[in-house]
C-alpha cells in the first residue's frame, strides 16, 4: 500500500461510509446513532489541523449527503466548519493526554449536530429543531467520543501524520 494520503483518505472515507450505512444503522441508543462521517472530520482536524480537517469534512460531508434527504452540501458545509474549528482549537492545546481527543470529539460532535439542525432550519427544513435535539446532541457526542481514539488513529494513518511530520498520533 502506498503512503500517499491522496489514496488513503478516500479509502478511509469510503470504508467508514460503508460501516455507517450498514453496521452502524443497527447501533442505536434511544433511536440515535453515531455520526461517523462527522467524526472523520473531527479526527482529521485533530490529527492534521485546520485545512485537512476542513477538506476531509467537506469530502465526507458531500459523500454522506448523497444518501440523506437534506439539501446537497449541507453536511459538507457543517462538517468542513467543524473540522476547521477543531483543527484551529487543536493548534493551541498540548496533546499529551489521551482524553483530549475524546473530549474534543464529544464537544465537536454535539456542536456539529446543533449546527446541522440550525443550518437545516435556515434552508427551510425545520423538522430537526425539536425538544429532542438536546438528547440527540448528547448521545451523538458520547458515541462519537467513545469511537474517537479509533477514528484519530485511522485519520493519522490516512493523512500520514506522525510526530516527526508535525502531526499527532494518539
Share of the chain above pLDDT 70, in %: 91
Residue ranges of domains in the chain: 5-159
The pLDDT-based confidence of 70 (bands split at 50, 70, 90) is: confident
CATH class of 5-159: mainly alpha
Tens of pLDDT, residue by residue over 11-62, are 999 999 999 999 888 888 999 999 999 999 999 999 999 999 999 999 999 9
The pLDDT-based confidence of 170 (bands split at 50, 70, 90) is: very low
Task: Write the CB contacts of 58 (distance below 8 Å, at least 6 apart in sequence).
Answer: 76, 79, 80, 83
| The pLDDT of residue 169 | 45
The pLDDT-based confidence of 166 (bands split at 50, 70, 90) is: very low
| The pLDDT of residue 94 | 52
| The pLDDT of residue 2 | 60
Neighbours of 13 (CB within 10 A): 22
Q: Mean pLDDT across the chain, nearest whole number?
A: 89
Amino acid at each position: 500500500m502506498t503512503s500517499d494520503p491522496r489514496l488513503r483518505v478516500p479509502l478511509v472515507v469510503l470504508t467508514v461510509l460503508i460501516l455507517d450505512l450498514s453496521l452502524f444503522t443497527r447501533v442505536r441508543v434511544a433511536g440515535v446513532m453515531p455520526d461517523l462521517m462527522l467524526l472523520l472530520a473531527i479526527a482529521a482536524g485533530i490529527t492534521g489541523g485546520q485545512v485537512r480537517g476542513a477538506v476531509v469534512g467537506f469530502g465526507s460531508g458531500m459523500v454522506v449527503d448523497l444518501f440523506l434527504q437534506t439539501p446537497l452540501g449541507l453536511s459538507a458545509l457543517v462538517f468542513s466548519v467543524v473540522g476547521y474549528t477543531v483543527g484551529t482549537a487543536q493548534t493551541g492545546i498540548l496533546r499529551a493526554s489521551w482524553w483530549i481527543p475524546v473530549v474534543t470529539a464529544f464537544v465537536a460532535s454535539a456542536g456539529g449536530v446543533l449546527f446541522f439542525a440550525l443550518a437545516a432550519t435556515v434552508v427551510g427544513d425545520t423538522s430537526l429543531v425539536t425538544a429532542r435535539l438536546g438528547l440527540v446532541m448528547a448521545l451523538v457526542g458520547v458515541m462519537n467520543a467513545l469511537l474517537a481514539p479509533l477514528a484519530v488513529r485511522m485519520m493519522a494513518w490516512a493523512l500520514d501524520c506522525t510526530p516527526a511530520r508535525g502531526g499527532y498520533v494518539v
